[in-house]
Structure 1
Amino acid sequence: MFVMKSFCGPAALQLRLFSTRTLPTLTLFTKDPCPLCDEAKEQLQPFRHRLVLQQVDISLPENRLWWDRYRWDIPVFHLNGQFVMKHRVDTALLEKLLQDAEGQ
């Protein structure tokens, strides 16, 4: 985000420039305990400033659909609502996807 508060001068012009870019959301489908999910969260640390990490606990009653779909596959990752990977973090793939998202 860029913010320029003011310019000095006779007109005292105020100018603000805001970034309209929003960070992509990476959804992690997980449950407790999940050692592979814990490992995946560690691998995501270098990306923490480039995305929003949302966790969905598939063992909660309100997430029954995700439990039925992913109980044997966690961790599972969706980027902006689209499936991107499961079981392990593919850092090369995630880097490419984030670069694509940043370029849009």
Structure 2
Amino acid sequence: MVKKITFYTRNQCPLCVEGRAMLDMVAEDLPIRIEEIDIEQDDEAHEKYMIMIPVVEYNGQVIQYGNLDYATLYEALDDSV
């Protein structure tokens, strides 16, 4: 089953670029689909995540934000763990 991940980001955010690369690495090993949302284009997301980005959400829950790492993301998204 493919899991839909929401990735909150913004332009000109080096940490977001690194976070997306980390998510892409996880996507190579697990069936996930990444929906990217620019918080600058979404007032509600901007207010909610302005100082936390990048933010990864799954099933409405934040699974990681800020410095994203492979192990934490993989563990949160892998059904076999």
- Do the structures match in fold with TM over 0.5? yes
Note the residue ranges of structure 1 that are not aligned, 5 or more in a row. Answer: 1-20
Amino-acid identity (%):
28
SS at match of 1:28: strand
Summarize the alignment of residues 44-83 of structure 1 with structure 2, pairs less than 5 Å apart: 44-49=23-28, 50-60=31-41, 63-83=42-62
Q: Which has the larger radius of gyration?
A: 1
- Structure 1 ranges of 4+ moved more than 4 A: none
The higher relative CO (CA closer than 8 Å, separation ≥ 6) is in: 2
Q: CA deviation at 1:92?
A: 1.3
Separation of aligned partners in 2, 1:52 and 1:29: 14
Q: CA deviation at 1:46?
A: 2.0
Question: Is residue 2:69 matched to residue 1:90?
Answer: yes
SS at match of 2:18: helix
Q: Any conservation in 1 of the 2:22–2:69 contact (CA below 8 Å)? A: no
Q: Number of residues paired by the alignment?
A: 78
TM-score, normalised by the number of residues in structure 1: 0.67
Measured against aligned partners, the alpha-carbon deviations of 1:18-52 in whole angstroms (never above 9, x if no partner) come to xxx3x111111111111100011112222224210
Higher helix share: 2
Higher strand share: 2
Note the residue ranges of structure 2 that are not aligned, 5 or more in a row. Answer: none
SS at match of 2:78: helix
TM-score, normalised by the number of residues in structure 2: 0.83
